[in-house]
Amino acid sequence: MWGKDPCSRSARPPHRQAQARAPLQFELLSVGAGARGLRPIRRCDPRSVTVDANTCVKIDGMHSATNESPLVHVVDDDASMRSALEGLFESVGLQTQTYATARDLLSIGVSDRPGCIVLDVRLPDMNGLEFQNRLIQIGVGTPVVMMTGYGDIPMSVNAMKHGAVDFLPKPFRDQDMLDAVMAAIERDRQRRIVKNDDTQLKERFETLSPREQEVMLLVTTGKMNKQVAGDLGISEITVKIHRGAAMRKMGARTYAELVRMADALKPSLRKLGR
């Protein structure tokens, strides 16, 4: 019988490929208030300590800007693989949710939490690459880590072109999977920072009056105040007033910064037909 894992409620047998592997390596780190934790590092790094079966490991620095812990979605029709990956991720403090099919995940929906999707290419209801495309179509930007026992170079290239963080052939090392997942979570963290900035930019733009928005979009194309005044049928001094108000409300300290903001808003404005 497998020994009880203090990091989880129930014991899980390790995947058969992991039984003969060396234990994962982790580095000591400080997590504040005098507390210490451990973080997995590459095996070639000499700064490591062995983690035994009685050690609970937590990953530091894996919280998003909203302080939510990351969630790893595992999609694989092999129950033993799902169990093995769930145990692996939970052993380093990552919450995991597993699914047997692609439709199981689609029916529930990907929660708006930081994390990633670990996806098997061969699924009973949908090809993994098709599922990846489906996620893109419905606007799910959660990074994907692909895995397969049948992968080839063209398949891996296709997956990477569509935004997969990594493509791991089975069997893979635990450390390789952890590295890929942590890279995916970091990519998702960066994506969310950019998304949050874009959201704030849109919210600021909406505080502008319709005339201020018009002036901002025209002056940031390189037109002089006099030209903008002629286009809108208003006085040049009125253009200057609206331009100053737009810069103040947008938080732009310089004209160049206002131009960058306008460029960042263009995709959203195009969707609105503006």
**pLDDT band of 23, cuts 50, 70, 90:** very low
Tell me the pairing of strands 115-120 and 144-148: parallel
CB 268 within 8 A of CB 255: no
d(CA 100, CA 118): 12
Please, what is the average pLDDT of the chain?
76
Distances (CA, A) of 185 to 40, 72, 182, 243: 14, 9, 5, 40
Tell me the pairing of strands 25-32 and 35-40: antiparallel
Q: Residue 68's closest CA among 35, 117, 116, 115?
A: 115
Q: What local confidence, expressed as pLDDT, does residue 223 receive?
A: 93
SS (H, E, C) the chain: CCCCCCCCCCCCCCCHHHCCCCCCEEEEEEEECCEEEEEECCCCCCCCEECCCCCCCCCCCCCCCCCCCCEEEEECCCHHHHHHHHHHHHHCCCEEEEECCHHHHHHHCCCCCCEEEEEECCCCCCCHHHHHHHHHHCCCCCCEEEEECCCCHHHHHHHHHCCCCEEEECCCCHHHHHHHHHHHHHHHHHHHHHHHHHHHHHHHHHCCCHHHHHHHHHHCCCCCHHHHHHHHCCCHHHHHHHHHHHHHHHCCCCHHHHHHHHHHHHHHHHHCCC
What domains sit in the chain, N to C, each tagged with a CATH number?
62-195 (3.40.50.2300), 207-271 (1.10.10.10)
- For residue range 176-235, list pLDDT tens digits in order: 999 999 999 999 888 888 777 778 888 889 999 999 999 999 999 999 999 999 999 999
What pTM does this model have?
Answer: 0.55
Residue type, 26: F
**pLDDT band of 173, cuts 50, 70, 90:** very high
